[in-house]
Amino acid sequence: MKKEKLAVVIFRNNLRLRDNKALLSAQKENTNLLCLYPLEILEGFEYGFEKCGSFRKEFIRETLLSLHSDLDQHNISLYCVEDISQTLQKLHNQFDVEIYYAKEVGSQEESFEKKLQCYKHQSFFDQTMLEPFSFEYKKSFSHFRKKAEKLDVLKSCKKIDIQINNIRAFDIDNKKLKKNLRPRVCKGGETNALERVDFYLQNHIHTYYETRSLISAKDHSTMFSPYLSVGSLSPRILHEKLKQYEKELGASKSSYWIYFELLWREFFHQVMLQTPKELFLKKGLQGKTYPFITDQKQLNLFFDANTGVDIIDAGIKQLKTTGWISNRQRQLLASYFVKNLGLDFRYGAAFFEKYLIDYNPASNYGNWSYQAGVGHDKTYRVFDPVLQSKRYDGAKYVQKWLHKEEEHPKFDYKKMAQTVQKQIFQYSL
């Protein structure tokens, strides 16, 4: 007997209705449609850290609830499943299944996709503003940017608008993503994502350039990254909104700079698309063999916020308490981890991966390998945490997170950086 057709849309980091190529194609071509979210992508450990900590889990849970209710309005069901292979096999036994999914960058992401590729499938790459294009991925961001700025940003695709038959009679578990009440910095879901964009663009678009590097405070930067990372915000819709605001309120250095920063995101995603594994390796893209330290005691001093440098310890506290730190603070932590302590950047990246609410593999490992000198940074740069703290309003921040006045470190952190440079990076001083 001929099996009935069923389109199965696999959601991962494209948790939205708008501008979602996989969902749109599935609904155009089919009358029976089912959406699945595979919980296994949140599981596992990296260098001793959970891959997905409680802040991101909570953010994803909220995003899924919002997506579930949005899909429900179109009469489409969304289920969370624990074992995607088993679920697809069950569906395949009953239906003529075709899978629709958004391709993601990263080696684990690709391994996951292999499980989907055993069935009839269609995949779509929609994590970026620009169509993937060819560039030399080992070269600098400027090399990429010069080419990228000449290209048109892709247009977003239209919202889904038709009713689809509902399929409900499957034994699919959805209890795994437990409610978690730990503090968060932003609320999940596509509506909240779009509201955040409108709020920021209406109120702060013209001060971004001046405030973006400050160490603390919520509206000094856009905070679009959590939404972009889980895909509740499409980068193309974001770009369209940015252009719309520029049209209405006028373009400025700040509005351009938001686009410029989005190109960094674009850059790391397109690099990882070309080379899914290299940014995760100790030797990185550049094939360096630096003898980074992996001593657990040293690592723990950092992870427990016991470095003795107030601005660094405050940053670690903020990250572990809220799931968020600013870009400047991420740079300071990564630089101190690698260039002052000589530690293996992959442990630091795994620490961020667990805690950051906006973690995504391309931006995280791209930036960490950059700071560790095995990625795209061609010059040897060390951030001076004490100077940086003075320059970017660190004293108030230290007071907030360590509940004390900021003090000068009791040891020579500059000499420490010189020793690491000599012993790990083998540069002549």
List contacts with ligand FAD (CB under 6 A).
212, 221-225, 228-229, 258, 261-262, 264-265, 268, 326-327, 330-331, 334, 352, 356, 358-360, 363-364, 367-368, 371
SS3 343: strand
**Residue 306 Cβ vs ligand FAD, minimum distance, rounded to whole Å:** 20
For ligand FAD, the closer CB: 160 or 205 = 205
Query: Which residue blocks in 275-309 are alpha helix, DSSP H?
Result: 296-303
**Closest C-alpha to 121, from 276, 274, 273, 10:** 10
- Residue with Cβ nearer ligand FAD (118 or 217): 217
Q: Quote the CA–CA distance of 103 and 109 in Å, as a whole number.
A: 8
Cβ distance 352 to 365 under 8 Å? no
Instruction: State which residue, 229 or 340, has the beta carbon closest to ligand FAD.
Output: 229
Output the smallest distance, CB 237 to ligand FAD, in A: 13
Residue 234 CB-half CA count within 13 A: 21
Which amino acid would we find at residue 381?
Answer: R
Q: Which residues pair with 101 in a beta bridge?
A: 10, 123
Min separation Cβ 147 and ligand FAD, Å: 17
Separation CA 45–CA 51 (nearest Å): 5
Q: Is 29 helix (H, G, I), strand (E, B) or coil?
A: helix
Residue type, 177: L
Query: Euclidean distance between the first and final Cα of the chain, in Å?
Result: 77
Bin 81: left if φ > 0, else alpha if -120 < ψ < 50, else beta. Answer: beta
User: Closest CB to ligand FAD among 381 and 404?
Assistant: 381
CB of 345 or CB of 425, closer to ligand FAD: 345
Nearer to ligand FAD by C-beta: 68 or 354?
Answer: 354
> Are residues 42 and 51 in contact, defined by beta-carbon separation less than 8 angstroms?
yes
Question: Other CB atoms closer than 10 Å to residue 256's CB: what's the count?
Answer: 14
Q: Report, in Å, the least distance between residue 427 CB and ligand FAD.
A: 21
- Shortest CB 327 distance to ligand FAD, Å: 3
Closest separation in Å from C-beta 104 to ligand FAD: 14
Closer residue to ligand FAD (CB): 13 or 27: 13
Burial class (CB in 10 A: 0-12, 13-18, 19+), 244: exposed
Q: Which tokens sit at 10?
A: 């696999």
SS3 6: strand
The position carrying tokens 């501008």 is 19
In the complex, what is the shortest distance from the CB of residue 285 to ligand FAD, in angstroms, rounded to a whole number?
15
- d(C-alpha 275, C-alpha 277), whole Å: 6
Beta strands 33-38 and 77-81, pairing class:
parallel
For residue 206, the minimal CB distance to ligand FAD (Å) is 14
Nearer to ligand FAD, 38 or 315 (CB): 315
Which CB atom, from 18 or from 376, has the smaller least distance to ligand FAD? 376
The least CB distance from residue 197 to ligand FAD, in Å, is 10
Spatial distance between the Cα atoms of 201 and 194, rounded to a whole number of angstroms: 11
Closer by beta carbon to ligand FAD, 349 or else 417: 349
Q: Which one, 22 or 338, has the nearer CB to ligand FAD?
A: 338
Cβ-count burial 376-404 (b if 16+ within 10 Å, e if not)? bbeeeebbbbbebbeebbbeebbeebbee
Using CA atoms of 193, 28, 11, 234 in order, give the dihedral in degrees to the nearest 10: -30
Nearest distance from C-beta of residue 165 to ligand FAD, angstroms: 37
Q: Provide the minimum distance between the beta carbon of 325 and ligand FAD in the complex, in angstroms, as a whole number.
A: 8
